[in-house]
Structure 1
Amino acid sequence: MKKKFSTKWKASRQPRKQRKYRANAPLHLRKKFVSVNLSKELRKKTGKRNIPLKKGDKVKVMRGKFKKTTGKVLKVNLKKAKIVVEGIQVKKMDGSKANVKMQPSNLQIIEMVERVKKKSKQEKKEIPKKQENKIKSDKKPKEAIN
């Protein structure tokens, strides 16, 4: 297994390959690792059970020391798959405060930031007919050379 990354490891039952898949996954695949369960109201609204977390989402902590606390997401670290939530801090020995990095499995989304669907290639190519005619009429015809 000298390869840096392969999508085939995802299908493997071997724990070492599953760990390698998660550890070496590129950022566009790591986005799925920070998926968080939705509240019951949002599940009905969206028709999904979980979605990738985004900065600005309001979440509720479900497990651990900070259970039942809510706050906005300040930072999503895809490299480490950790989330920083507003208001969840620990006091350090010198008196300063430090943000606690939470695991996405311990959170639940209460309110979402608006998510914009990306246009498909086909939608981008389709130009409305009015604009298409306008583009053609803007071009000046070349004069005939006698």
Structure 2
Amino acid sequence: MISNKPRKQRYRLYNAPLHKKRKWISSHLAENLLLKYDRRSLPVVKGDTVKIMRGNFRGHEDKISKVNVRDQTVEIEGVTITTAKGTKIAKPIHASTLLIMKLNVTDKWRRRKLESGLSETTKKEIEREAAEQLKVLEAEKKAAEEAAKAEEKLKEETTEPIKEEVTTEPSEEIIEPVAKEEIPEEKIEKTTAELPKKKPSTKKTPSKKTTKKKKEEGET
């Protein structure tokens, strides 16, 4: 039994399981979609084009970039606020203030739910829309990959050291080797004879008797 007390209602809303919160993040459909799908509202999905109906950003129409199930909020491209530091952050918006202008039909599970109870012509239209949207997504992915590769190449080029090719041209002048002068043997003998001879060491080695006397004197 649901309580009438707002305190308990808020408590249940904040502490509800995620599978219930996901259903509550729903918005109304535009008139053309309402007639096409025979539904009044649908849960919002990333990629849906949405129009803000209330608040400071009223009238802004763009795609949903993120769905936060825990906080039951949605982030839309182009809707940002500036912090005290000066950085821009996406402003979370409640799904009840939005109007769905175009659905993202790339998910097959969502298509099955939408197609249930509809005519075959509308089913074919939904499949065509899904094929077109998938092509657009593939093209965007390829463009993003190419941009990432180009950035990597630029980084590699900037990080690699530039090797300068040093070209050494052969010199035309040929240097002749200088002939060494031969020293006669007589001069070599004279220089060796003139060198001073080392004198033998005249230090006397102490005899055994003197060493014994010194030891005896030390003991006394």
| Alignment CA distance shift 1:15-1:93 (3 Å) | closer
Aligned to 2:211: none
Runs of 4+ off more than 3 Å: none
Unaligned runs of 5+ residues in structure 2 are: 114-220
Q: Which one of the candidate residues 1, 10, 13 is aligned to 2:4?
A: 13
Partner Cα distance (2:13, 2:42) in 1: 18
Q: Secondary structure at the match of 1:117?
A: helix
| Alignment CA distance shift 1:16-1:97 (3 Å) | same
Q: Looking at CA atoms only, which structure, 1 or 2, has the larger radius of gyration?
A: 2
Q: Which one of the candidate residues 100, 106, 109 is aligned to 1:109?
A: 100
Aligned to 2:174: none
Q: CA deviation at 1:93?
A: 3.2
Within the alignment, does 1:42 sit opposite 2:33 as a pair? Answer: yes
Aligned to 2:46: 55
- Stretch of structure 1 that moved more, 92-101 or 47-56: 92-101
**CA RMSD in angstroms, aligned pairs only:** 1.4
Unaligned runs of 5+ residues in structure 1 are: 1-7, 119-146
Q: Secondary structure at the match of 2:90?
A: strand
* TM-score (normalised: structure 1): 0.70
Deviations 1:43-71 (A, max 9, x none): 11111111110011000000011010111
Partner Cα distance (1:46, 1:21) in 2: 31
Q: Quick one: percent identity of the two aligned structures?
A: 37
Within the alignment, does 1:68 sit opposite 2:63 as a pair? Answer: no
Partner Cα distance (1:112, 1:49) in 2: 13
Q: Which has the higher strand share?
A: 1
Q: Which has the higher helix share?
A: 2
Q: Secondary structure at the match of 2:85?
A: coil
Aligned length: 109
Larger relative CO (CA 8 A, sep 6+): 1 or 2? 1
Q: Secondary structure at the match of 1:74?
A: strand
Deviations 1:1-40 (A, max 9, x none): xxxxxxx4xx322222211211111100001221111111
Q: Secondary structure at the match of 1:41?
A: helix
Deviations 1:57-111 (A, max 9, x none): 0000000110101111011101000100011112233332111100111111000
